Amino acid sequence: MASYAHARASQPATPINFDVPAHACDCHTHIHGDVEKFPFFAGRVYTPGPASPEEMAALHKALHIERVVIVTPSVYGTDNSSTSFGIKARGATARGVAVIDDKTSEAQLDAMQADGFRGIRINLATDGINNPDVGRARFTAAVERMKARGWHAQLYATLPIISAIKDLVLASPVPAVFDHFGGAEASLGLEQPGFADLITLVKSGKAYVKISGAYRSSKLAPDYQDVAPYARALIAASADRVVWGTDWPHPDSVPLPGRKASDLAPFYPIDDGRLLNQLPVWAPDADVRKKILVDNPARLYGF
């Protein structure tokens, strides 16, 4: 497929400049298998290029990272087979986060648990859903399904949605996990509405947050300096409730004028080596970095 040539996912260009602890985990990635075997969902809002387990293995070798969490992206709807494929290719060092709906049976969840899935994802941001009532209903339904399994509920949402479900998260019997700095926009400052609620939830121990996908919060490439205050604030709130991730292969899900959902959306050209080198800037203490890269993912994902 010639059109895929320019859609290849990036590999790190910058060497890692600090000691990455043993058993470090990248807590947010996606696998896009062969489209013949793993077709995309007709209702998707974008079409990514391929991202194979072999490419992911090369990424993590360069980053000195052993473990990975593979998250089913929105382009597959509730079909988690490409994620399962990625987990099986990686083996015992991989876990998964699934997307389900009310048609997903308990037997299917049992099979996914055996494959290494440990949570479900509620993706509101990619579909542009900002209705608090939708957020509350989807989170409540997720918790109800997950509480007997001890899985977590992962949310890709905006800060106003996080504020709207704050009481539900505080009362939840399972952890909430917020993607990509909780959807904070770096340019709006630490006082932006909702960030204090995210801090409260992280402090409470009921929620984890991924300091991942910095380029989704900031436009200041390549180091995204304006996300540093957010990372530091979240780590200060509770270093035991922060995890890190690349968001590889860096899909561009933002609708563009004239680009149809079925048109190929090239990946963002992100240098994950440079991005991982920001972690010591955000967390200068090696013991804190070990919590973020090793201890917290081990607890959350059951490594």
Confidence of residue 84 (pLDDT cuts 50, 70, 90): very high
In CATH, which superfamily holds the domain spanning 18-301?
Answer: Metal-dependent hydrolases (3.20.20.140)
- Strands 176-178 and 25-29, by their bridges, are unpaired
| Sheet of strand 94-98: strand arrangement | 25-29, 67-71, 94-98, 117-123, 152-156, 176-178, 207-212, 242-245
The amino acid that residue 133 corresponds to is D
Give the confidence band of 204 by pLDDT, cuts at 50, 70, 90.
very high
Residue 2 has pLDDT above 70, yes or no: no
Residues in the chain: 303
At residue 276 the predicted structure's pLDDT band, cuts being 50, 70 and 90, is very high
Model pTM above 0.85: yes
Judge whether residue 39 has pLDDT over 70. yes
pLDDT band at 4 (very low <50, low <70, confident <90, very high): very low
Asked if pLDDT for residue 192 goes beyond 70, the answer is: yes
pLDDT at position 123, please?
A: 84
Q: Is the dihedral of CA 44, 218, 190, 240 positive or negative?
A: positive
Is 70 exceeded by the pLDDT of residue 1? Answer: no
Per-residue pLDDT band for 70 (boundaries 50, 70, 90) equals very high
Q: How far is it, in rounded angstroms, from Cα 69 to Cα 63?
A: 15
Per 3-state DSSP, what percentage of the chain is helix, strand, and coil (rounded to 5)? 45, 15, 40
Position 237 pLDDT exceeds 90: yes
pLDDT digits (tens, 9 = 90+) for 155-190: 999 999 999 999 999 999 999 999 999 999 999 999
Whether the predicted pLDDT of 283 surpasses 90: yes
Read off the pLDDT of each residue in 104-114 and give the average, rounded to a whole number. Answer: 96
Tokens of 13: 């260009």
